Structure 1
Amino acid sequence: MSMPTPPGDQNPVGQAPTGQDPWGPRPAGPAPSYWPPYPIPVPQPRNGMGITALVLGLTGVVLGLTVLLFWLSWLPALLAVVFGFVGLSYARRGLATNKAMALAGVVLGGVGLLISAGVGVFFVVVAKEVADDGRAEAARVKAEAAAEEEKEKAEEKARHLSFGQSYTFENGLKVTVAKPQPFDPREPVFGHAEGNKAVEVTVTVVNTGTERLSVESGLPSVNDANGASTELVIDGSGRQKVLTGYVLPGKEAVGKYAFSLPSDAAGKAEVEFTPDAKRWANAYWSGPTS
């Protein structure tokens, strides 16, 4: 008695299809499905430090060569060196690909620092020289002013003389004022009050130069013992003579003048005289009148 064939799959597993050698190769079936491998993320190179170092290095060098901004160059140059070394460190560890750029930043940063230091030293030296020159000029001006003041004091002292002494002005006129002598006015008299003491002042001018010289202001002024100006006496004696005109080389001119001094201030007098009031300061002769 034969077994019936089960329903469903007519080719059970392990059995070759009808008409096929059970020991031969199996027929090709559908290709198995292919799944590609999951992509592994690749890290991006960290080149920012090298780029920054290069830019800062260039900035430091440019600022260092600028006269007005050199004092700012040290900061970007220093940062270029720091960032450059960080970039080189990244490149050595394979984290960056711009080693040359980082190295260039370090070099430029170093150059920028050297330029900044050099220009800074140069300006310090120049500033010191300018300051030294300024101090020297100030000292020279001060010394000249002191010398000029001493000269003026010496000249002022030299212009104060006693009666009978001589003073030579810069144009070569030597002036001597004699001690005032008593003067007896004759009528008519102008400028002499009753009770006053009249004195005669004699001024002698000698030309010590080689050219004729003029006496532009031949009238002296006289101050009494109290420092008050006295009045010029004019009388009818004709004894007074006014210095005026030219004095030839080697020649002298004599002027005679009378002044009225108050009786209470007649014991001493001071005479001021200059041959040219526009050019030469007065010289002074003083002393007792009796």
Structure 2
Amino acid sequence: MSQHTQQPQFPQAPVPAAQARNGLGTAALILGIIGALSGLIPFLFWLAGILGIIALIMGLAGRGRAKRGEATNKGVALTGAILGLVSLIISVVGAVILFKAVGDAVDEIDKATNGASASKKSGDDSAKGGDKGGDKAGETLAAGDSALYPDKLTVTVSEPKPYTPSEFAVGHTKGNKAYQVTIVVENAGKEKYDASLFTTEARAGKDGVEAEGVYDDKVGKPLTGKIMPGKKVTLQQAFDAPADAKDLTVEVSPGITYDASQWDLKL
């Protein structure tokens, strides 16, 4: 009877489980959070875009690892990918807002610059026009010149001519001379002009004494009512001046919101 030698059996050590590779998912979550927060700052939209792309790629890669059993943080990786996508969207919106704001600012600067240039050119043209008889409101004008206001209201005063008041005239002093001027008010604008506050005054002689207005059936009627766009009104006014006066200054004020204009008239 043969005898067999029994070999001792030793227990085998268990195979260690593979370590979970959760780094991609965790990194995607961190970068996604930073990217989303960066996107809330307009000037950091570029950073949000870069971090968003990296977070999206790493999140998708981490989710793939979790599906293959190589990682255990599938939810973290998915959240990181979603935050990466959100960061990209915020980045695009931030870029649009910033570029639009910059464009609007440039447009405003261009408008201001062009407006200043236009105003300067307008001022130069007006100054040149003054030598040719073109006039601007607020300046001292000559007979026949026109004062043009910003709303395109135009006032023109004619040369004075001697006027003989009637026996019933008011404002004429014996020994003085009366002079009549024709005032034309034209509304070339788009809005109605209210003439209720239209006034005229005059001074005469080298001492600038007040030249009282003369009122009778032919002159001195006030300008009232409204002047419609495209219409004009002719007004006859007369002023009483000392007999030795050589000049007459007529001042016209279209209203409280207008600058008064003056005409230096030779008698």
Q: TM-score range by the shorter chain?
A: 0.5 to 0.7
Match in the other structure for 2:228 = none
CA displacement at 1:114 relative to structure 2: 1.1
**TM value normalised by structure 1:** 0.50
In the alignment, the residues of structure 1 paired with residue 182 and residue 207 of structure 2 have an alpha-carbon distance, to the nearest angstrom, of 17
Structure index of larger Rg: 1
Which deviates more, 62-71 or 205-214? Answer: 205-214
Q: Which residue of 2 aligns with 1:74?
A: 49
The residue that corresponds to 2:239 in the other structure is 251
What RMSD over aligned residues (CA atoms) do the two structures have, in Å? 4.1
Q: 2:39 aligns with which of 53, 64, 67?
A: 64
Tell me how far apart the structure 2 counterparts of residues 245 and 173 of structure 1 sit (CA, whole Å). Answer: 20
**Cα distance in 2, alignment partners of residues 90 and 169 from structure 1:** 87
For the residues of structure 1 that align with 2:146 and 2:106, how far apart are their CA atoms? 42
| Letter in structure 1 aligned against 2:78 | L
Deviations 1:46-73 (A, max 9, x none): 1011011011111111111223433321
| 1:137 equivalenced with 2:125 (yes/no) | no
SS in 1 for 2:128: helix
| Identity over aligned pairs, percent | 27
Match of 1:97 among 42, 65, 72: 72
Q: What's the TM-score once normalised by structure 2's chain length?
A: 0.53
Q: What is the rounded CA distance, in whole Å, between the counterparts of 1:159 and 1:121 in structure 2?
A: 49
How far apart are 1:150 and its partner, in Å? Answer: 1.5
The alpha carbon displacement at 1:138 in A equals 2.6
* Residues paired across the two proteins, number: 183
Inter-partner Cα distance in structure 2 for 1:281 and 1:172: 10
Match of 1:166 among 143, 146, 151: 143
Provide closer, same or farther for how the CA distance between residues 65 and 205 of structure 1 changes in structure 2, counting only shifts above 3 A.
farther
Cα displacement string for residues 160-182 of structure 1 (whole angstroms, at most 9, x for unaligned residues): 9xxxx835586987678xxxxxx
Q: Which structure 1 segments of 5+ residues have no match?
A: 1-13, 15-31, 177-203, 219-241, 258-272, 286-290
Rounded to whole Å, the distance in 2 between the matches of 1:54 and 1:139 is 51
Kindly indicate whether the alpha-carbon contact (under 8 Å) linking 2:201 and 2:250 is maintained by their aligned counterparts in 1: no
Amino acid at match of 1:213: A
